[in-house]
Amino acid sequence: MAFRSLSSQLLRRVSTVRRLPSVLSTSAVTYPSIAIRSFTTSLATRNGGAIKVQAAVARAPGQPFTFDELTLRAPKDDEILVKIHATGVCHTDIAVKDRNLCAFPMVLGHEGVGVVEKIGSRVTTVKPGDHVMMSYASCGGCPHCNTGKPAYCYDHGFLNFAGKHKDGSVDHHHQSTPIQGTFFRQSSFATYSLCTENNCFPVAKDLPLATLAPLNCGIQTGAGAVMNTFKCGAGTSIAVFGCGAVGMSAIMAAKVVGCTTVVALDLTESRLALAKELGATHTIRVDKADTPAKTAADIKALTGAGAVGVDYALETSGNRFALRAAFDSLKPLGQCGLIGGAAPGVEVSLEMLSMLNGKQMRGIIQGDSVSKVFVPQLIALWQAGRFPYDKLITFYDGMCAHLFAALGCCI
């Protein structure tokens, strides 16, 4: 029963996009991605710079989101007020809520796109009316931020997950009650968001905003693992564990860079069929009873004479047995990347002797992406027909209650 928990993890890996409406219409979910589009703006009113917004509020683990009118404070000198047009729904949003990894109550959402409504006096890179995308937050000043690795910012945990600012203040209130937010410095499950220049960048106004939303996290993470972290080259081989939005994006990226062996692994035949369509050269339907040793052997058998293994293996499901199989499927000097996040306290065991032949394992955040640089590259590939990530998206219009009710238990 080694892979017994993989199926639920893979189901949750499906990406969702929501579009936020003008009177509460939502749109956006992708095959493994969900997008909500067109959040209402008619309900927003201003009071001393603060505005009234509609938001989906996470109240407790395992409990449904509530829909509340909140007060969002005015932007500071270095902040940007964005009217949300659409937002993706990522596994991280649900995992943080259901694993009790955030303070409650909390406004989540971190794949937001929209239109700039107001900017602070120190903002220079966007202006009111610009169409923008919002990604993860970084401090912009630590050694990792200064050397092109903002995903590993020294303050990544606090800036993206703490729900408040360093001085303890919050952006949202429900009447007089503080509501946690600043999630990925955007909290885009609302009609308006506050962000900064570090996690916001403009895009062309002729691009479909709702379709862009999932690029902000899940899509750039999977594609970036292949293109930025591994830097896979033509003729190399890769095994991808889990065919949700992240895994599918890795598969599409592997095709783009010229990998000649792309093995997709999942529990679900329909996902494997789509993986084949998107670029997988081989598929393996994992059985819940499969051991890591069997799965690794099945992968190696697809790698030609000698069955030495793959150059790269990417684990996206957060299953420790899948991670062990991924590492064991590598050839000497192979690299294994971990994207899927398990619950706190989950450990994995590796055979120390097997590491002596140069195999490497590392965690990957956001695909090592500098979003304002990498996402436009993915958009260009999509426009050229080489990165069809839109096949993963399902759209919902407005903050529809049935979608958020479902998100209370799974995605």
Q: Does 399 share its domain with 324?
A: no
Determine, yes or no, domain membership for 175.
yes
Q: Does 190 share its domain with 293?
A: no
State the pLDDT confidence band at 341, using cuts at 50, 70 and 90. Answer: confident
Determine, yes or no, domain membership for 281.
yes
State the pLDDT confidence band at 48, using cuts at 50, 70 and 90. Answer: low
Q: Does 345 share its domain with 303?
A: yes
- Domain containing 346 equals 221-367
Q: What is the largest CA-CA distance in the chain?
A: 71
Determine, yes or no, domain membership for 376.
no
Determine, yes or no, domain membership for 182.
yes
> E strand or H helix at 338, and its extent?
strand 330-338
Determine, yes or no, domain membership for 19.
yes
State the pLDDT confidence band at 37, using cuts at 50, 70 and 90. Answer: low
State the pLDDT confidence band at 390, using cuts at 50, 70 and 90. Answer: very high
Q: Does 241 share its domain with 134?
A: no
State the pLDDT confidence band at 136, using cuts at 50, 70 and 90. Answer: very high
Average pLDDT, the chain: 88
Residue from 254, 228, 215, 239 nearest 365 by CA: 228
Residues 298-319: tens digit of each pLDDT: 999 999 888 899 999 999 999 9
Q: Does 254 share its domain with 198?
A: no
Residue from 151, 96, 57 nearest 367 by CA: 151
pLDDT at 303: 94
Please state whether the peptide bond connecting residue 344 to the residue before it is cis, i.e. omega within 30 degrees of 0. no
Determine, yes or no, domain membership for 176.
yes
Q: Does 96 share its domain with 185?
A: yes
**Region of 225 on the Ramachandran plot (φ > 0 left; ψ -120 to 50 alpha; else beta):** alpha
pTM for the model: 0.89
Class of residue 105 by CB neighbours under 10 A (exposed 0-12, middle 13-18, buried 19+): buried
How many domains, the chain? 2
**Residue reference for tokens 């956006």:** 28
Q: Does 257 share its domain with 293?
A: yes
> E strand or H helix at 9, and its extent?
helix 6-12
> Is pLDDT of 197 > 50?
yes
pLDDT at 208: 96
Q: Does 18 share its domain with 128?
A: yes
Residues 177/152, Cβ–Cβ less than 8 Å:
no
Q: Which of 116-130, 193-207, 336-350 has the lowest mean pLDDT?
A: 336-350
- Regarding predicted confidence, which is higher, 16 or 310? 310
Q: Does 107 share its domain with 177?
A: yes
> E strand or H helix at 373, and its extent?
helix 371-383
| CB neighbourhood size of 205 (10 A) | 10
Residues 94-104: tens digit of each pLDDT: 889 988 888 99
| CB neighbourhood size of 124 (10 A) | 8
Q: Does 398 share its domain with 352?
A: no
Could you tell me the CATH number of the domain that includes residue 136? 3.90.180.10
Q: Does 157 share its domain with 100?
A: yes
Give phi and psi for 20, each to the nearest 5: -100, 135
What is the distance of C-alpha 250 from the center of its chain? 12
Residue from 181, 202, 77, 180 nearest 135 by CA: 202
Residues 41/54, Cβ–Cβ less than 8 Å:
no
Q: Does 225 share its domain with 212?
A: no
Determine, yes or no, domain membership for 247.
yes
> Is pLDDT of 39 > 90?
no
Could you tell me the CATH number of the domain that includes residue 258? 3.40.50.720
DSSP string, 64-99: PPEEEEEEEPPP-TTEEEEEEEEEEE-HHHHHHHHT
Segment 385-400 shows an average pLDDT of 87
Rounded Cα distance, 306 and 97, in Å: 46
Q: How far is CA 97 from CA 24, 214, 282, in A?
A: 23, 19, 35
> Is pLDDT of 11 > 70?
no
| CB neighbourhood size of 234 (10 A) | 8
Residues 57-105: tens digit of each pLDDT: 999 998 889 999 999 999 999 999 999 999 998 888 888 998 888 899 9
Burial 278-290 (b: 16+ CB within 10 A, else e): bbbbbbbebeeeb
**CA torsion, points 256, 371, 208, 378, in degrees to nearest 10?**
-10
Residues 275-294: tens digit of each pLDDT: 999 999 999 999 989 999 99
Q: Which of 6-10, 114-118, 177-181, 233-237 has the lowest mean pLDDT?
A: 6-10
Determine, yes or no, domain membership for 6.
no
User: What SS3 class is residue 196?
Assistant: strand
